[in-house]
Amino acid sequence: MLLLLAACKPADEVRAPNASLVLRVAMVGDCPTCERMAYSPNGGMVVSLKLRGVIAKFDDIESVTKSVDGDKTRISLSFKSSSRPQVLDASSSVVGQMCAWVVDGKVVKTAAISSPFSDEMVVSGLGSDEANRLFDAVSRH
């Protein structure tokens, strides 16, 4: 689930360098005009990524922050001011739909877009393994 929330504890922050990372509109099941990609955090699953469904790419990200609240972790991605109009337009058109973070050609996390965003996107309710997988994928580049 994607929500806009404030951090509860001091967080780790990393500047976002250039990398191959995109947030794409996705779906589970067959889609003849989609790219199929394996995703298996908790077992085998195949997601179909819409070819024209790019919501944001790595070059749009200003910074990434990870914060912990009890047993849940949250990843916050801040977008560059120059990218915010495009990110808002793309995210507004896919509210309620599934998306996938694709890093170096691999799906690292799927979630539903709960509301439009432009300045910041927060991926919340993550378990430690999920949060670390997404944070590491974004911050290692």
φ/ψ (deg, to 5) at 133: -60, -45
Q: What is the mean pLDDT of residues 92-110?
A: 85
3-class DSSP state of 21: strand
* Residue 72 token pair: 């849940």
Please tell me the pTM assigned to this model.
0.74
Domain ranges of the chain: 12-119+131-139
Q: Compute the residue count for the chain.
A: 141
Q: Looking at residue 42, what is its pLDDT?
A: 56
Give, rounded to a whole angstrom, the gap between the first and last alpha carbons of the chain. 24
pLDDT bucket at 83, cuts 50 / 70 / 90: very high
How far is Cα 103 from Cα 106, in angstroms, rounded to an integer? 5
Q: What is the mean pLDDT of residues 19-27?
A: 76
Residues 6+ apart with CB under 8 A from 37: 46, 47, 48, 49, 100, 102, 105, 106, 107
Instruction: Report the candidate in 60, 56, 58, 64 with the shortest Cα–Cα distance to residue 7.
Output: 64
Q: Looking at residue 12, what is its pLDDT?
A: 34
Q: Looking at residue 104, what is its pLDDT?
A: 75
Which pLDDT tens digit goes with each residue over 27-61? 887 788 888 888 766 557 788 888 878 888 888 98
CATH architecture of 12-119+131-139: 2-Layer Sandwich (3.30)
